Amino acid sequence: MASPSNNLKVRVIRAEGLQHMNHFSGDHPYVACAIKRADGEVETKADTKPVTEGDTLNPTWDEMLELESWQPGETLAFTVYDKGLLGSKTEGKALLPSEFFYPNGFQGMLAIIGLPDAKLEVEIKAVGAQDEEPSLGQDPGLATDGAPEVGENVAVPQKLAVSILQAHGLKHMNNFTGDNPYVVCEVKHHDPAAETT
């Protein structure tokens, strides 16, 4: 049975760190957002309007796009273009796999591939077949046997999902064995007797 299709509401908020690409007509950046299917085909594309005034190297669109017929597992592809007199030049691209925005949505900055310090801020929400109200009951992923009721004045353990997408501008640190960067994520508890997780 095929997965139910959803619509995506994609808010393209702003970018920072774009390059000056059109020396004669000025920079007019815009963003194309597309669904990248599992087979690699790119379909269902929507574009923002070009920014023509203000700081065009750090433009703000704050524009809502809607993409239809998206299914879980399909990636969102963002391409930042600079519209000129003779066509558009590609500034860079950003990809967001579905596990980062489905089912709980996403809001944050994406690194723009091709521009070392450039970022694109977006907000994504899937709407459609999965839009049932979440249950306020227990999270099935937590072991709660013998745990206090939520109404009691006791801290109840919670799950925290952390997605680490990528890093830019790291320094070469190990000349002999090569670099193997990694990230440590710690949760500092309010209770000093609790362990750092």
Tens-digit pLDDT profile for residues 93-124: 999 999 999 989 999 999 999 898 999 999 99
DSSP 8-state secondary structure symbol assigned to residue 99: G
DSSP 8-state secondary structure symbol assigned to residue 100: G
C-alpha distances (whole Å) from 164 to each of 91, 96, 101, 182, 185 are 24, 12, 13, 10, 9
Q: Does residue 134 or residue 47 have the better pLDDT?
A: 47
**CA pair distance 112, 116, nearest whole angstrom:** 8
Tens-digit pLDDT profile for residues 124-160: 999 875 454 443 333 434 333 444 444 444 444 555 6
Mean pLDDT (whole number) for 29-56: 91
Residue-level pLDDT at 87: 85
Name the percent of the chain lying above pLDDT 70. Answer: 74
C-alpha distances (whole Å) from 125 to each of 10, 28, 49, 57, 68 are 7, 27, 21, 27, 12
pTM metric for this prediction? 0.66
